[in-house]
Structure 1
Amino acid sequence: MATFLYKLGRTAFRRRRLVALLWVALLALAGVGAATAPAATSSSFSIPGTEAQRAFDLLEERFPGAGADGATARIVFKAPDGGSMNDAAPKAVVEETVAALKSGSDQIVSVTDPYTAQAVSRDGSTAYVSVAYKVNGMELTDETREALTQAGHAAQGKGLTVEVGGDALQTMPETGAGEIVGVVIAGIVLVITFGSLVAAGLPLLTAIIGVGIGVSTITALANVLDLGSTTSTLAMMIGLAVGIDYALFIVSRYRSELADGRTKEEAAGRATGTAGSAVVFAGLTVVIALVGLAVVNIPMLTKMGFAAAGTVVIAVLIALTLIPALLGFAGDKVIGRKQRKGAQNPEEAAKAAKPNAGTRWARFVIRRPVFVLLAGVLGLGAIAIPAASLEMGLPDDGVKPVSATERRAYDLLSDGFGPGFNGPLLVVVDGDKATAEKTVTTIKGLDGIAAVTPATPNKAGDAAMITVIPKDRPSSGATETLVHDIRDATGDDVLVTGATAMNIDFSQKMNDALVPYLALVVGLAFVLLTVVFRSVLVPLKAALGFLLSVVAALGAVVAVFQWGWLGSLFGVEQTGPIMSMMPIFMVGVVFGLAMDYEVFLVTRMREAYVHGERPGEAIVTGFRHSARVVTAAAVIMIAVFSGFIGMSDQMIKMIGFGLAVAVLFDAFVVRMAIVPAVLALLGHKAWWLPKWLDRALPNVDVEGEGLAAQDAAADRKPDLVKA
């Protein structure tokens, strides 16, 4: 592989104008596609293989239109203290609001009058108007949303407390300045690392081009593939981080090759052949982790994984082709002025040859491996403790900050109609009227029920719907128990669905899929790393270190988002359960990113070991050449992920925080401390591989042995000619 990538790098360097033109053309093509494509909408949500999904499908079949995915809204009214919504004045205000809504937009399907739909609380203090729309929340026009909010404001000015809830208020996640700050920090770190504005600008430029192509392509295909509005944001988050890192490693190796006296074209080829090989395998681990999300069998999660994986593939291709091409344009400017002067000044060169921070740290770890290992493991273990209290769920209006009108509407409904009113269960009966009535009687006999509506049959009389209001809030354990009790007490022809039941089934599916997903992803990556490192213990150590860092990161997420520790520091206004997809998504992404640092750091150690250095010397060599760059890459990735913490979308905020913390733990504790400590304790055994397995595995030559042989052959040629 090293030889092939070496030739690719040299070709890209020589044909730099053509390569640059091709990537710019791809960016322009993707941009045109994104600009002309319809705006992205919320992706359809389904959970194949669950009872809630089967019930929803049956509902669509027997009650056409009842399961439509159009947006809904509720305008909630609360009378002043001592008053009642049944009084003449409040009643007149509600009727005016209903009339205004009916004429406010042609996207409205229906508006219910609370006085005819029994939507007034028993004590008369609260009432609500339900609004149904033809399209989902992302497709509503600004005029329609304005009509909804204006109707609420008009009623509020007449002595009533009025709040608006529902997904009709859903909009695209707001992008704050955090992402820009993250890129700026990345730029500063690159300038400090390279000491050259040109060298620092190359990774930023290529990462932006790669993300631009990836995100524009996702935007262009969003409606065709039903990708959803958050898919491009997550792809941008991951693509930007790995794009900068991959380019950083190749540029750094290029500068190192130049320092060894190679020509610019040769240095570009060498950098692509050696660091580029590490980039390929690091990218493969990320792609495996993201594509492996398909094992969960949640279409939305699968699409997110494939879209992000596509952006990573683009980042790898750009690092292998566009970076060598741009290095050809950069010339000597890729080397900082200070470094150029040092190369000409023997005293400066001698000063630069002194042990750097990476070398000193590696020697410290080698001297005290047991202390470093125990400190790292115990420290991460302590941070991981909150993960034992992990509670999972899907977000609803109840987890929004109290400053949001959706949250206040949610609370008013809970106070007026009971905690379970915001999470009704929809029971679908596949049978005749007698079966439906028997089901109602059975459900009424269960604990935890606040109300059960009479069965509503369909036109054919072969199915019925029953609405069940739990006593407790939707995310409570009691409500989950009630769902299981209904399913256990009724037959196979009775199915429970609704947002609350879907949430419960989704969380269960995530839990059930976690172990198979881990086995698949870690197993494939173990095989891949065994091929790369020609070792059994190094990949095993890499996998165990990853598990430690990801559990610690989950512990930090629970502490901040579920317990509220330091919540205000990260913009968490309301604590609640961790989103069901968060653990498995974080496992996938963090595993891929963790293997990045493993490959980049340990490959250089393996290279030194293969070329004859002792195990301890190889560790020091790996840190001398890679620690500074790995540190810069980790800081950049943390900065990029942290930038997304400022977004309004709770899911993206949580993922940004989780990934930033996971990279912090994995890069600086696991890879920079635990890994060298374990390698120091193992010595030569770290690189042991059974002979039969060594013969069976393909030789991918990540260390560049083929290039070294090529050098040796070139050195022998003059002697042959002379002879």
Structure 2
Amino acid sequence: MLLALARAATRRPLTVMLLWGLFLLLGFGLGTGVFARLSDNVAEIPGTESQSAAEYLDRADPVGDSITGVVAGTPVRDPALRAEVEQAVTDLRRIAGVAAVPDPYTTRGLTAEDGRALLVSVTLAGGLDDAAEERTLHAAADRIKEIDAPQVRVSGGPLLGEQLGERAQEDVRNAELISLPVVLALLLVVFGGLRSALLPLLVAVSGIAGAFLALFAFSEVTDISVYAIQVTTMLGLGLAVDYALLMLVRFREERRTTEDVAEAVHRTVAAAGRTVLFSGLTVAVSLTGLLVFPSVFLRSMGLAVAAVVVVDMLAALTLLPALLARFGGRIAPAKARPKGTEGRLFGRIAAFAARRRIAVLAVVVPALLVLALPVTGMRIGVGDARQLPANTEARQLYDTVGDHFPPGTGVSPVSVVVEPGTDAATAERIRALSPTAVTRELPGGARVIEMRPSGEADGAAATDLVKRVREVRGDAPVDVTGTAARLVDFRAMLADRAPWAVVTVLGGILLLLFAFTGSVLLPLRTIATTLLSLAAALGVVVWVFQDGHLAGLLGAEGLGALSLTAPPLIVAIAFGLAMDYELFILARMREARQETGDEREAVVTGLRRSGRVVTCAALLLAVVFGAFMTGGFSPILQIGLGLTLAVLIDATVVRMLLVPASMALLGRRAWWAPAPLRRAHARFGLREEGHTAGAPVPEKV
């Protein structure tokens, strides 16, 4: 299969490049339309109590979205400003599609006690179509901003999603402008030539186009989070560079032994291409764990990122061979070095780790476990505007309200839907749980009790209130919704489905690694060492963003909890990336073992041959992730830091020390499998063929 792809690419390189060119036009044309469809709501889970209750409220008492403006920085009871605000309220009420605008001077809680800020709340009519809603939102926001005051900020509702979408598009553009030149400079250092350095960037551009196109396709059927665009784009860019780097390093090695460019491409695809194929499949399988969760956001992220990985893999296996067939003759072969001198540093490290295997394991494993300790206290939350960059309008509105109004102002209430027929005593017991409880009658005889908890909408007080309501109601037809209820349901969903996600991912990874290595113990060893590096990286993320240590260095602050989307995404993506590097190294180890038959020497030789490319790939990925962390969105900072640390820890400490130490400890047993499985692998497994630079190319893959 792979050799057939390589031959097709070398026979018709211009056709392949044309097809990929059309794909790029589609991705950067149609695909970028996703920026207008991004949502800031990721906590919804179909079928949960909180979601069902919210849908019931929408049907029973349809109310449109709302936006909020804050006017501050000057005494708001100044006669001139008051006249201007009252005129603005009058004008807002006349806008088609506006349902209600309370007077901030006569409505309790809308004017700050210090007299230097007020809130203008605009509620839209229910049932507006998208076009009418957009016109109304912008007309209302523009009218509020016409108020002449030192500080006027407007956000909330669909306007927040629009503002975040615009910011996300700007952040992606800036990250690309930062990362691409740095990646190019590093590739120039690695390859020493502009042609070789440019080819991975061409493949990377394909990955970015694939990210846009995949998200746009999923936006047709589901909501796409504002944070999804950065995650998929940075992975599309990073993995494309990784795969292209691996292929180009191998191509330059093959060019040392053959003048025939097409032959060198075939050999490259037959050897490194197989590693790329397995790597892409492994990363995609790691992301299938997200499909186990009923969360629309997690499922769409899993599918979108997996689609991007597949695009990167296909670009490395088709577009890059076509480019090499067309321009590879101008790429200088890798410099011939005396036997045993290539990758000498990595060989020495591997030999040391293998020789001192017990000492290395005794030091490295406890050190990683110490870094992982904060995970035991990890908490997740929906978060608030503090997750946003300080220069976003929504964050500025949040900070201004916090400076002038009491804590809890604007906090989403815990809403309890009491259906007809509920015992009056049950309703009273629920009302007694909160001194702020307010009851509203709904059409059809139902009632809704709204209770505003102290602290944040997803804080401990709010979530405890949700749990107490659900305990008090018993079997009564009473449902709870709101931000806190969504968080409680999200946490329950994670706890319920996480074991199934783990079984799904580990089962798939074990099968793929067995197909790649023919060993039973190697996959188990790989998973154990990978989980160590992953836990260490996640522990640091908790220590920084939840507990607040050194968060200021990243332009963030301790929030008391991680974004509810960060841990599952870090775990799924980082696990796949770790498998990526493991396959790079195992491919070379297996190759060396087939050459020499010496397991200990194969470990050292495999790391000597792969250490440089793995280190370079990890550094390039870290650069890409770091560039996307400049945007300032806290969930992206959390995911970016987690992935960066996971990649760097895995590519250095784990792969250079733990892998050779554990492989040396296992010895010949590392490659063991029961006789029936050995026979199955010999018949069905996709194996590395013991092909080295200059050896004949296998006829079948």
TM-score (norm 2): 0.88
Superposition deviation, residue 569 in structure 1: 1.9
Superposition deviation, residue 296 in structure 1: 1.0
Stretch of structure 1 that moved more, 143-152 or 38-47: 143-152
Deviations 1:153-191 (A, max 9, x none): 73635xxx8765534344122416344322222222222
The 8 Å contact of residues 593 and 663 in structure 1, kept in 2 or not, is answered as yes
The equivalent of 1:73 in structure 2 is 68
The equivalent of 2:531 in structure 1 is 547
1:389 matches 2:377: yes
Superposition deviation, residue 331 in structure 1: 3.2
- Return the alpha-carbon distance in structure 1 between the equivalents of residues 299 and 503 of structure 2: 17
1:204 matches 2:201: yes
The equivalent of 1:452 in structure 2 is 437
For residue 436 of structure 2, give the secondary structure of its aligned residue in structure 1. Answer: strand
The 8 Å contact of residues 382 and 483 in structure 2, kept in 1 or not, is answered as no
For residue 49 of structure 1, give the secondary structure of its aligned residue in structure 2. Answer: coil
Aligned residues with identical type, % of pairs: 34
Distance 1:248 1:13, change over 3 A: same
The AA in structure 2 aligned to 1:102 is R
- Return the alpha-carbon distance in structure 2 between the equivalents of residues 53 and 294 of structure 1: 19
The equivalent of 1:424 in structure 2 is 413
- The higher radius of gyration belongs to 1
Deviations 1:235-254 (A, max 9, x none): 21111111111111111111
The equivalent of 2:213 in structure 1 is 216
Deviations 1:50-96 (A, max 9, x none): 22112112213322x23x5x35325366995xxx97x9888656523
Deviations 1:26-48 (A, max 9, x none): 22244443367893242765212
Superposition deviation, residue 114 in structure 1: 4.0
Gaps of 5+ in 2: none
The AA in structure 2 aligned to 1:488 is E
Matches within 5 A, 1:106-505: 106=96, 108-114=98-104, 118-120=108-110, 128-133=119-124, 148=141, 151=144, 154=147, 156=149, 164=154, 166-167=156-157, 168-170=159-161, 171=163, 172=165, 173=168, 174-175=170-171, 177-219=174-216, 222-261=219-258, 263-335=260-332, 349-350=337-338, 353=341, 356-400=344-388, 406-407=394-395, 409-410=397-398, 416-419=405-408, 422-432=411-421, 435=423, 438-446=425-433, 449-454=434-439, 456-461=440-445, 463-491=446-474, 492-505=476-489
Superposition deviation, residue 233 in structure 1: 2.8
Distance 1:576 1:403, change over 3 A: farther
Stretch of structure 1 that moved more, 590-599 or 203-212: 203-212
How many residues are aligned here? 685
The 8 Å contact of residues 88 and 143 in structure 2, kept in 1 or not, is answered as no
The 8 Å contact of residues 204 and 236 in structure 2, kept in 1 or not, is answered as yes
The 8 Å contact of residues 206 and 311 in structure 2, kept in 1 or not, is answered as no
The equivalent of 1:644 in structure 2 is 628
- Return the alpha-carbon distance in structure 2 between the equivalents of residues 138 and 357 of structure 1: 62
The equivalent of 2:680 in structure 1 is 696
Stretch of structure 1 that moved more, 400-409 or 238-247: 400-409
Stretch of structure 1 that moved more, 141-150 or 636-645: 141-150
Deviations 1:460-518 (A, max 9, x none): 22x12121112343233222211100111114411111122212322332233323212
Distance 1:137 1:638, change over 3 A: farther
The equivalent of 1:98 in structure 2 is 89
- Return the alpha-carbon distance in structure 1 between the equivalents of residues 396 and 567 of structure 2: 29
For residue 48 of structure 1, give the secondary structure of its aligned residue in structure 2. Answer: coil
Stretch of structure 1 that moved more, 561-570 or 422-431: 561-570
The AA in structure 1 aligned to 2:103 is D
For residue 652 of structure 1, give the secondary structure of its aligned residue in structure 2. Answer: helix
Superposition deviation, residue 97 in structure 1: 3.8
The equivalent of 1:346 in structure 2 is none
Deviations 1:134-168 (A, max 9, x none): 679999869955863763673635xxx87655343
Deviations 1:662-717 (A, max 9, x none): 11111111122211110011110111111122223453343125999994999xxx
The 8 Å contact of residues 207 and 240 in structure 2, kept in 1 or not, is answered as yes
- Return the alpha-carbon distance in structure 1 between the equivalents of residues 583 and 442 of structure 2: 60
- Return the alpha-carbon distance in structure 1 between the equivalents of residues 129 and 41 of structure 2: 10
Distance 1:411 1:572, change over 3 A: closer
Stretch of structure 1 that moved more, 32-41 or 194-203: 32-41
The equivalent of 2:498 in structure 1 is 514
The AA in structure 1 aligned to 2:418 is V
The AA in structure 1 aligned to 2:689 is G
- Return the alpha-carbon distance in structure 2 between the equivalents of residues 37 and 164 of structure 1: 23
Superposition deviation, residue 326 in structure 1: 0.8
For residue 39 of structure 1, give the secondary structure of its aligned residue in structure 2. Answer: helix
Distance 1:596 1:44, change over 3 A: same
Distance 1:713 1:548, change over 3 A: closer
Distance 1:559 1:221, change over 3 A: closer
Distance 1:147 1:576, change over 3 A: farther
- Return the alpha-carbon distance in structure 2 between the equivalents of residues 301 and 138 of structure 1: 28
The 8 Å contact of residues 108 and 132 in structure 1, kept in 2 or not, is answered as yes
The 8 Å contact of residues 97 and 155 in structure 1, kept in 2 or not, is answered as no
For residue 368 of structure 2, give the secondary structure of its aligned residue in structure 1. Answer: helix
1:9 matches 2:1: no
The 8 Å contact of residues 616 and 683 in structure 1, kept in 2 or not, is answered as yes
Distance 1:387 1:179, change over 3 A: farther
For residue 456 of structure 2, give the secondary structure of its aligned residue in structure 1. Answer: coil
Superposition deviation, residue 388 in structure 1: 2.3
- Return the alpha-carbon distance in structure 2 between the equivalents of residues 442 and 102 of structure 1: 39
Question: How large is the Cα RMSD of the aligned pairs?
Answer: 3.4
User: Aligned match of 1:664 in 629, 643, 648?
Assistant: 648
- Return the alpha-carbon distance in structure 2 between the equivalents of residues 261 and 245 of structure 1: 25
The equivalent of 1:721 in structure 2 is none
The AA in structure 1 aligned to 2:447 is A
Distance 1:37 1:622, change over 3 A: closer
Distance 1:90 1:565, change over 3 A: same
Superposition deviation, residue 120 in structure 1: 4.8
The AA in structure 2 aligned to 1:72 is I
The AA in structure 1 aligned to 2:546 is Q
Stretch of structure 1 that moved more, 625-634 or 50-59: 50-59
The 8 Å contact of residues 393 and 503 in structure 1, kept in 2 or not, is answered as yes
- Return the alpha-carbon distance in structure 2 between the equivalents of residues 234 and 578 of structure 1: 16
TM-score (norm 1): 0.86
1:687 matches 2:668: no
Distance 1:374 1:507, change over 3 A: same
- Return the alpha-carbon distance in structure 2 between the equivalents of residues 393 and 36 of structure 1: 30
For residue 618 of structure 2, give the secondary structure of its aligned residue in structure 1. Answer: helix
Stretch of structure 1 that moved more, 166-175 or 359-368: 166-175
For residue 210 of structure 1, give the secondary structure of its aligned residue in structure 2. Answer: helix
Deviations 1:359-407 (A, max 9, x none): 2222222222222223322222222222222121012125556776645
The 8 Å contact of residues 154 and 394 in structure 2, kept in 1 or not, is answered as yes
User: Aligned match of 1:537 in 518, 521, 528?
Assistant: 521
User: Aligned match of 2:594 in 590, 607, 610?
Assistant: 610
Superposition deviation, residue 543 in structure 1: 0.8
For residue 416 of structure 2, give the secondary structure of its aligned residue in structure 1. Answer: strand
The equivalent of 2:613 in structure 1 is 629
User: Aligned match of 1:34 in 25, 31, 35?
Assistant: 31
